[in-house]
Amino acid sequence: MSVADEKTVVRDYFNSTGFDRWRRIYGNGQVNKVQLDIRQGHQKTVDQVIDWLTADNNLPGLTICDAGCGVGSLSIPLAEAGAVVYGSDISEKMVEEAYERAKNLPGVIQKLTFTAQDLATLQGRYHTVICLDVLIHYPQDQIAEMISHLCSLAESRLILSFAPKTLALSLLKKVGELFPGPSKTTRAYQHREEDIVKIFSDNGFRVQRQAMIGTRFYYSRLIEATRS
């Protein structure tokens, strides 16, 4: 499938069934067991990023681009901590929901800008660029261009998460594909860490901090890379 076709599939999904599914997963209402596990795993990823950024002690006023921000699970707490956050997402419905979640939080909405935009069309420079759980929607041959573009927007660092490709996980995915069910996601792509690190280094970035977040159904490798 071409890059354009891949993006159309992803955007249409997150404007329809994917919107309903992920809005609930990234919320606090009742969900099924698998979705609850994914919610908790994803929250750990968000918490880890916030821990890293808080530890640096310079969040107030820091410009952050949250590419593929979804319903604002990370953008909103970062704005609450004082950062100036530019959240964007290829799905209009996801950013509309992010705005709804933020609009009545005192002092927060002024620090947030939400736009519906493919990350490939983002422009400008931000101290920090973050892209969580987005690469999972794209095959290996498309991610180098995406990551390189994100690097070009980052003055200082890029924080990415992806589903790591390991034998066990590949098997798990194979097994998972045999059981289509109500909580099925879009096709999920895993990526090799060495490939991601190579793309960073080709763009002049070096890995600084990393974490592995895993629950039963959620696996995410989180990497912070800075300009070397």
Task: Kindly write out the interface string for residues 78-107 of this chain, putting x where it contacts ligand SAM by CB under 6 A and - elsewhere.
Answer: -----------xxx--x-------------
Counting residues that bind ligand SAM (by CB under 6 A) gives 21
Site for ligand SAM in 114-133 (CB under 6 A): 118-119, 132-133
Distance CA 158, CA 135 (A): 14
Nearest residue (CB) to ligand SAM, 206 versus 216: 216
220 interacts with ligand SAM by CB under 6 A: no
The one among 38, 39, 64, 73 contacting ligand SAM by CB under 6 A: 73
Q: Does 134 bind ligand SAM (CB under 6 A)?
A: yes
Cβ contacts of 38 within 8 Å, gap of 6 or more: 25, 215, 217, 218
Candidates 64-72, 97-105, 107-115, 220-228 — which segment interacts with ligand SAM by CB under 6 A? 64-72
Q: Does 137 bind ligand SAM (CB under 6 A)?
A: yes
The pairing of strands 126-131 and 219-227 is unpaired
Q: Does 150 bind ligand SAM (CB under 6 A)?
A: no
Residue nearest to ligand SAM according to CB distances in the complex = 70
Which of 49, 59, 69, 199 binds ligand SAM (CB under 6 A)? It is 69
Whole-number minimum distance, CB 46 to ligand SAM, in Å? 7
Provide, rounded to whole angstroms, the least separation between the CB of residue 87 and ligand SAM. 9
Q: How far is the CB of 105 from ligand SAM (least distance, A)?
A: 17
Instruction: Rule CB under 6 A: say whether 191 interacts with ligand SAM.
Output: no
List residues bridging with 191 in a β-sheet: 164
Rounded distance between C-alpha atoms, residue 204 and residue 202, angstroms: 6
Q: How far is the CB of 228 from ligand SAM (least distance, A)?
A: 25
Binding-site ranges for ligand SAM (CB under 6 A): 7, 10, 14, 22, 26, 67-70, 73-74, 89-91, 94, 118-119, 132-134, 137
